[in-house]
Amino acid sequence: MLRQIALLLPLAIVPAVAQIPQTPDDLIARNLGPRDQVNKPFPAHKIIGNLYYVGSQALASFLIVTPEGNILINSDYEATVPVIRASVEQLGFKFTDTKILLGSHAHGDHMEGDAMIKELSGARVMAMEQDVPALQAMKPGGKAHPIDRVLKDGDTVALGGMTLTAHLTPGHTKGCTTWTFKVQDSGKAYDVVIVGSAGVNPGVKLIGNTDYPGIAADYVKTFAVLRSLPCDVPLGSHGGMFGLAAKQAALGKGANPYIDPEGYRIEIDTNDAVYYRTLAAQKKAAGQ
């Protein structure tokens, strides 16, 4: 049934909601925007509770502030690190208080800067075990990629009263990681989900992929995992995945726009539909 719904989505939603990505090319265009602006600074701001946005226009990075030091999620490119550092400091926090560095998945635009941030702050770098080989091959400037703790699906990371859970959501990479945790804001608890990625990149083979034989099945598992997670505040590794620009612009003009469970469901459905559409096209091309 899910596959049937996903394959019917283009007919159901394209006429009314043309901006919803339909193909892998659409997804990457939405997530990255103009390539010359990937590392362009974006206003650092509070999202909710002790959670802050410190990334660029296209590459999302998040700061969780605790009494025992801070957690940073996503170092992005090495060229993005100065943008992240400036954002942290503009918010009034010390970059050297970064104690833990986490990541979304082993692509350069999310974790290439790990070594640089470790050098600048001394943070412990943690990564999902299935992404370790790809990270170890990621050596900007010849620097070895630091990994201080290898995570498994369901592991938790704790600091200063905050506990984050690492969920293995593979497909985009073998160790793609979605982070969940709770934040307190105005006396209420909210479930935060930072999606690693559920998107199919252009040119990725879903059938006959000798480098990643289980990729198609992994995507299906990931959609099931994401749908099982309670979510009040949906975020992701790219601002386009959660409407960063529009939500930041709406802050202070009513209810917190980042509280958006419906947006979470729409994003999962969008990626699910692109996956099944791409899979069907590849099967047809292969004569299956």
Report pLDDT for 35: 86
Domain that holds residue 158: 2-285
3-state secondary structure 31-87: HHCCHHHCCCECCCEEEECCEEECCECCECCEEEEECCEEEEECCCCHHHHHHHHHH
Q: What CATH number did the domain enclosing 160 receive? A: 3.60.15.10
| Percent of the chain surpassing pLDDT 70 | 94
Report pLDDT for 210: 97
pLDDT, tens digit (0-9, with 9 covering 90-100), for 234-252: 999 999 999 999 999 999 9
Let me know the angle formed at the C-alpha of 112 by 107 and 115, rounded to the nearest 5 degrees.
145
Per this entry, what is the length of the chain?
288
Among candidates 227, 271, 283, 248, which has minimal Cα distance to 48? 248
Strand pairing of 149-151 and 124-128? parallel
- If one counts the domains in the chain, the total is 1
Give the lowest-confidence range in 17-26, 31-40, 141-150: 17-26
In this prediction, residue 45 has a pLDDT band, given cuts at 50, 70 and 90, of very high
Please determine, for residue 4, whether its predicted confidence score (pLDDT) is greater than 90: no
The beta strand positions in the chain, using DSSP E, are 45-48, 51-53, 62-66, 69-73, 98-102, 124-128, 149-151, 156-159, 162-168, 177-185, 188-195, 233-236
Please determine, for residue 2, whether its predicted confidence score (pLDDT) is greater than 50: no
| Percent of the chain surpassing pLDDT 90 | 91
Question: Cα-atom radius of gyration of the chain, to the nearest Å?
Answer: 18
Please determine, for residue 86, whether its predicted confidence score (pLDDT) is greater than 70: yes
pLDDT, tens digit (0-9, with 9 covering 90-100), for 161-210: 999 999 999 999 999 999 999 999 999 999 999 999 999 999 999 999 99
Please determine, for residue 112, whether its predicted confidence score (pLDDT) is greater than 70: yes
Please determine, for residue 83, whether its predicted confidence score (pLDDT) is greater than 60: yes
Measured CA to CA, the distance from residue 58 to residue 189 in angstroms comes to 28
